[in-house]
Amino acid sequence: MMNSDQEQQPPEDSVVPKDPPPPPVREEEIEEQENRQMQVAMKMVGSAMVFIGFLQVFLSVNTGAEISIFPMIIYFSGMALWAYSSVDTPIIRYTVIGLSLLCAMAFMSFGEVLFWHKYAIYWGTVSMVVFFMFQTPKKPASS
């Protein structure tokens, strides 16, 4: 009677074929991965800046307190970063970036945030979030 361990072992003279080596990684693929990583990082930083700026505007609207121009600069700078990394259509991307930077510079020039500025930022952000919330994502093309 043979032992169960002996039955499971292959004969010693058989050769087990090795897997072929993986294809070499092209330099273009490495650059694409690095670009995607940078886009993800810019999306995260831009979203965080928009959130931080909006949070201060939101709290100011709810409490009636005054705020300085710095939350607005953070908000619009984050909006420009987010648009650069997220929007695919170049015309829309650079329009959003230009308007964001123009608004940030306008607040720097004006030097103060009025009541209606805060409400415009508040309702503009709410409408933008609602718009993107109900937009269906693109399905990747199957190859």
pLDDT digits (tens, 9 = 90+) for 30-61: 777 878 888 889 999 999 999 999 999 989 88
Q: What is the pLDDT of residue 124?
A: 87
- As a dihedral over the C-alpha atoms of residue 68, residue 71, residue 72, residue 78, rounded to 10 degrees, the angle is 160
Tokens of 66: 């005054």
Would you call 67 exposed, middle or buried from its count of C-beta atoms within 10 A (0-12, 13-18, 19+)?
middle
| Cα–Cα distance measured from residue 85 to residue 42, given in angstroms and rounded to the nearest whole number | 6
Give the DSSP per-residue string, 54-104. Answer: HHHHHHHHHH-----SHHHHHHHHHHHHHHHHH--SHHHHHHHHHHHHHHH
Q: Which one, of 39, 114, 51, 119, lies nearest residue 81 by Cα? A: 39
Q: What is the pLDDT along the chain (143 residues), one digit of tens a residue?
A: 555 555 566 555 566 667 777 777 677 777 778 788 888 899 999 999 999 999 999 898 888 888 888 999 999 999 999 999 988 888 988 998 999 999 999 988 888 888 888 889 989 888 888 887 887 777 776 65
Distance set, CA 45 to CA 38, 50, 66, 116, 129 (Å): 10, 9, 26, 27, 17
What are the boundaries of each domain within the chain?
A: 39-129
